[in-house]
Amino acid sequence: MADSAKSDEMQEHQHHGKHGTVLFFNEDVTVTDQEVAINWYYFPVASAKHIPYSDILRAELLKMADMDFLSTKTWGMGLSNIWWHCDFKRLSRVNVIMLTLKSQSIQVAITTDDADVGKIFDLITKHKHHAAVASSS
């Protein structure tokens, strides 16, 4: 199956799981109506990090080319306060989603197929906004 067809199939697959209704998933990230799960996050066990939308203070879509080489890493933390999930294709990626969380001072970087980044970012910002409105009610 071609990568784009595989990606389209994964994007449109919705089911309800333990962490909410899955809106999008690929090998790097799962976006539900409740949270963002980043696969291959924790070193060295490669388990996922689950981030509820209510914990996201800010989400930014940045260009990898604008990232300082010393702040990036294939997996873990470079010489900055950014944690990178495992992505051996990171240096060929164009975009990165940067999350600032309320619960920690370390920022979270998400890289994945560039064809998917816009959709993932839009889902995160949409649900982050809904979580913020719900928590202020």
> What CATH number is associated with residue 58?
2.30.29.30
User: At 15, which amino acid appears?
Assistant: H
pLDDT tens for the chain, 137 residues long, are 344 443 444 444 445 556 689 999 999 999 999 999 999 998 888 899 999 999 999 999 999 999 988 788 889 888 899 999 999 999 899 999 999 999 999 999 999 999 999 999 999 999 887 655 444 44
Give the full edge-to-edge strand order of the sheet including 107-110: 56-63, 95-101, 107-110, 82-84, 76-77
CA distance 25 to 125: 16
Residue 43's pLDDT is what? 85
**Residue position matching structure tokens 């914990």:** 55
Number of H helices and number of E strands within the chain? 2, 10
Domain region containing 37: 3-136
Domain count, the chain: 1
Q: What angle separates helix 114-136 from helix 3-12, to the nearest 10 degrees?
A: 20
Q: How many CB atoms lie within 10 A of CB 113?
A: 18
CA-CA-CA-CA dihedral for 3, 27, 65, 118, to nearest 10: 80
End-to-end CA distance of the chain: 46
